[in-house]
Structure 1
Amino acid sequence: MDAALIKSLRPGKPSDLKPSDLKSSDPKTSDKKPTEARLPETRPAELDPSEFLAAAVRADQPRPSRHEAEAAVHTLLAYIGENPHREGLQDTPRRVVEAYDELYQGYHQCPAEVLDRTFGETAGYDDFVLVRDIEFTSQCEHHMMPFYGRAHIAYTPVERVVGLSKLARLTDIFARRLQTQEHLTAQIAAAIDEVLKPRGVAVMIEAEHTCMSVRGVAKHGAMTFTSRFTGMFRDNPAEQARFLSMVRGPNR
């Protein structure tokens, strides 16, 4: 087999194939089946722990002043052709900055602290815990436009469980940052996995993105689904199927 064909089978790694793996051109050995090249098992890329264990903004981190932030909004109003000084827009820069303080408060909150308090009185419970239909609103990091939907979170505790409301609070912390849906899904799963050390975590998010529904292709109602599985959910397809069945429910 020539080098070009080997390269087409294993792009960038022609040296990985040994001569014994290739089909011989010798008629005496031509009936032997070549060794199949197996793709390596892949695992999800690991996140930087700083993304999901601590607040994203340090208290001493240099930032523009509120006055500078309001001036930036004033500039944007002028950019779109508006008169920032007319009556209806005079307070808009202040209102926008105040809204941003609320919409992006997740940058100043610590995800790990939300999961710190756990309970050990579980009576030997050894199945997974599922909180379904956690509503959230986040902001797309590409266009800074909202996307919103529901998160479904399950984990299988080892000995201790966390309060159910904490999973909703955790979702809100990550959602109140600039996000992609894929990253939001991965961060929620990683935080639970790292802090609670469960046997496995399953996260599924369904959301509508306004950057797709009110601009661009303008497809209202189009839903995006993402999921992340760790531990027993990743390794056991039956557990994945059971989780998805419970998320969808009989009326979905």
Structure 2
Amino acid sequence: MSQPLSQQYREILVGLGENPEREGLLDTPKRAAKAMQYLCHGYQQSLDEIVNGALFESDNDEMVIVKDIELYSLCEHHLLPFIGKAHVAYIPTGKVLGLSKVARIVDMYARRLQIQENLTKQIADAIQRVTNAAGVAVVIEAKHMCMMMRGVEKQNSVMSSSVMLGAFRESCNTRHEFLQLIGRNN
């Protein structure tokens, strides 16, 4: 049987040359384990649970955009945070998704060990699966601590990733409208 996460954090402290019995570190393994479980709670969630039936009949067939959804995730390569925002759009085909559900879908996938490229695709695929939209677009812009705090140490770098499905991939005009509405196509 594997050790509790807090014991594994204790061993990390020892491996770093720290004394886990030092006053300031006594509860650190427990706090670190609790923090990591929270930061990765997306593994305990499912798309069905998140959406919870919040699809509503609608005649709207125009683009729906939720932009500037803040996100916090952990890079699966270094376990360091990346922080940014997601812009999500879809073109309904008879049903619209409850507004908060878009942000909850972003959070569910962000709260897993990730690379930004996969996160972008997972969000787009989930919105498509839930809404059966005519098209889905997702753009994520994020700052990665693994690039800022270590390695090349580039403080002002921002990574952008996008996934365009359906009408957003097939129509330059639809894609252009989306990018213009989120302020990325001037």
TMscore range, shorter length: over 0.9
Structure with the bigger RCO (C-alpha within 8 Å, sep 6+) is 2
Identity %: 44
| Number of residue pairs matched by the alignment | 185
Q: Could you give the per-residue CA deviations for residues 87-113 of structure 1, whole angstroms, max 9, x where no partner exists?
A: 110111100111112111100001233
Q: Which structure has greater strand proportion?
A: 2
What is the match of residue 237 of structure 1?
A: 172
**RMSD of the TM alignment (CA)?**
1.5
Q: Secondary structure at the match of 1:184?
A: helix
Give the letter aligned to residue 215 of structure 1: R
1:204 equivalenced with 2:143 (yes/no): no
Instruction: Look up the SS of the partner of 2:14 in the other structure.
Output: helix
Q: TM-score, normalised by structure 1?
A: 0.71
Q: Which amino acid aligns with 1:144?
A: L
**Which residue pairs with 2:113 in the alignment?**
178
The TM-score normalised by the length of structure 2 is 0.95
Q: Deviations over 1:169-203 (max 9, x none)?
A: 11000000000000000000001111211101000
Gaps of 5+ in 2: none
Alignment deviations for residues 134-161 of structure 1 (CA, whole Å, 9 cap, x no partner): 0010000000000000000000010010
Bigger-Rg structure (1/2): 1
Shift of 1:249: 6.7
CA separation in 1, counterparts of 2:18 and 2:168?
52
Aligned equivalents of 1:141 and 1:228: distance in 2? 20
Which of 201, 205, 225 pairs up with 2:160?
A: 225
Q: Which moved more, 1:95-104 or 1:201-210?
A: 95-104
Which residue does 1:148 correspond to in 2? 83
Counterpart contact for 1:112–1:191, Cα < 8 Å: no
1:18 alignment partner in structure 2: none
Distance in 1 separating the partners of 2:86 and 2:54: 22
Is 2:97 the partner of 1:162?
yes
Q: Which runs of 4+ in 1 moved over 4 A?
A: none
